[in-house]
Chain A
Amino acid sequence: MLKFKRRAIRHAQQFGLPEDVLLGLPRLVMHGNTSLSLENHKGVLEYTPTRIRLRTGIGTLTIQGEGMSLAQMGRHDMLLRGAIQSVGYGT
């Protein structure tokens, strides 16, 4: 499955197609370190003011910071506010 996804990403890059739309990849937009918007998430795994873990199509997205809160939480998109310190994939 992972092999298929990598191949699909490579093909999409070759043809210049938007990967997030075609493959449902997460799309992150950060404004400085105070807010982060995420599209194409698949649910919340953990939510505390210092650590938020979200399920995405390519794994778990972990955001660490201080005083974080979910300003908006929709079906496919969310907006997070707070002092963001790090963003990364994995546990």
Chain B
Amino acid sequence: MHTGSVRFIIEGLSLERLINQCVAHGIMLESVVRPGVRSICATVSSADYPIIRDFASSQGWMISVRRITGWPSIRMFAWRRAALVTGVIVFLALAWYTCNCIWSIQIYNAGPYIGEVRGVLRERDVRIGRFGMWIDVEDLRVALERRLTGLSWVSVSKDGVRLKVYCVVGTPGVAGGGDASPGDIVAARDGIIESVRVAAGTAAVKQGEAVRKGQMLIKGEERTWQNETNAVKARGEVIARVWYTADAIIPANELITVPTGNAAERKVYVTPWLEWSPDSVPAFEKMDVSVRTLPIGAVLPLWARLESYEEVTFEERVRDEASLQAEAALAALRLAREEAGLDKPIVDKWVEYSMMGDGMKAHVTLELTEDIATALD
């Protein structure tokens, strides 16, 4: 491969003969100057230089290279600085590799399925540090859709070093009750009607009436002046008193760890591919472990993980009843609030306690008013 040029100086007598020989062989000379009476300096393509060197050796002229440009000079530079060039190539290869790895996995709107989504990702070895080109997003999407039937829609995409999993949790349909038909409005849950406001259709319930989930509240039909019935899509608001319940059981005994006083530290150097530590894991039977991670590789994916080990023993302790009840009530209340919706005002609440085997059970009932009307279509 000769795509460069060579500037040479040739010394001897009758150097015009060299120019004529070059011309006769079709060699293009450039920037021909005479620095002295017995020397000529010129530039030729690197492909023609060996021919001129042969002329010089046959005529007894002394030839020497002044400068090489183009690809041959790059090749010489690479040959002389092999370690530097190798380092640059390795750095670029590593940079390219790290830029093509997955460094963040983001799961959106998976709701209660987030653990299962993570499980499917784990099964398919989709993890941080995995080379992105080896992850088949379409295959992953199909696997998520097949495994998680509770999701109505899944999308998996790679965005640079991020893997994004978008989910939509499926909403179960409302079971129709009695003679309800599409276009009617039914009760989303059990309750006692507080008020009915009909925008379209005919009210099927009245204030103070107890309704069951799925019962028709507003019928999707209206009567005309001629006593004819027209089918309409029912619309309206049905406010009812509803109740949400939740249970929480807190164990009566608690297991606590008591430090024995023995402690150790361990430093682990971590890359996405391997881990190395100069220290071994301490041989404690039971221990508390705390971990701190420090990035030490600047732009390279290298971390130092500082692990602190503290030997402990387990002791079981019986908790007092008041704190048990308080904790169980708080947990049950939180569950009930999550089910009811955190933004809704609570009208009333009850908490009942009972001992269940080894734990304290709290049963919370929340009363609140809300619109229970839901379309049946």
A interface with B by C-beta (< 8 Å): 43-49, 69-75
Contacts and interface: CB of A to CB of B under 8 A. Distances in A.
Interface of B is mostly: mixed
Contacts of A73: 19, 22-23, 28-30, 32, 42
A26 to B, nearest CB: 14
B30 A72 contact: yes
A48 B16 CA distance: 10
A43 B28 CA distance: 13
Interface string B250-273: 000000000000000000000000
A47 B19 contact: yes
Contacts of B30: 71-73
B37 A44 contact: no
16 contacts: A43-B16, A44-B16, A44-B20, A45-B16, A47-B15, A47-B19, A47-B40, A48-B34, A48-B37, A70-B31, A70-B32, A70-B33, A70-B42, A71-B30, A72-B28, A73-B19
Nearest to A46: B16
Contacts of B31: 69-71
Nearest to B31: A71
A57 to B, nearest CB: 15
Contact of A69 (B16, B23, B28, B32): B32
Interface of B: 15-16, 19-20, 22-24, 26, 28-34, 37, 40, 42
Closest 8 CB pairs of A and B: A70-B32, A73-B29, A43-B20, A69-B33, A44-B16, A44-B19, A74-B28, A75-B26
Contacts of A70: 19, 29, 31-33, 42
A16 to B, nearest CB: 32
Nearest to A80: B32
B16 A72 contact: no
Contacts of B37: 48
Contacts of A45: 16
A45 B14 CA distance: 9
Contacts of B16: 43-47
Interface core residue of B15, B20, B26, B37 (most chain A CB under 10 Å): B20
Contact of B23 (A48, A49, A71, A74): A74
A67 to B, nearest CB: 9
Given A69-B31, A70-B33, A74-B28, 15 more contacts: A43-B19, A43-B20, A43-B23, A48-B34, A48-B37, A49-B33, A49-B34, A70-B19, A70-B29, A70-B32, A73-B19, A73-B32, A73-B42, A74-B23, A75-B23
A81 to B, nearest CB: 9
Contacts of A47: 15-16, 19, 32, 34, 40
B217 to A, nearest CB: 97
A79 to B, nearest CB: 9
A69 to B, nearest CB: 4
Nearest to B19: A44
A46 B17 CA distance: 9
A43 B31 CA distance: 17
Interface core residue of B20, B23, B31 (most chain A CB under 10 Å): B23
Contacts of B29: 70, 72-74
Contacts of A44: 16, 19-20, 23
B195 to A, nearest CB: 100
Nearest to A71: B31
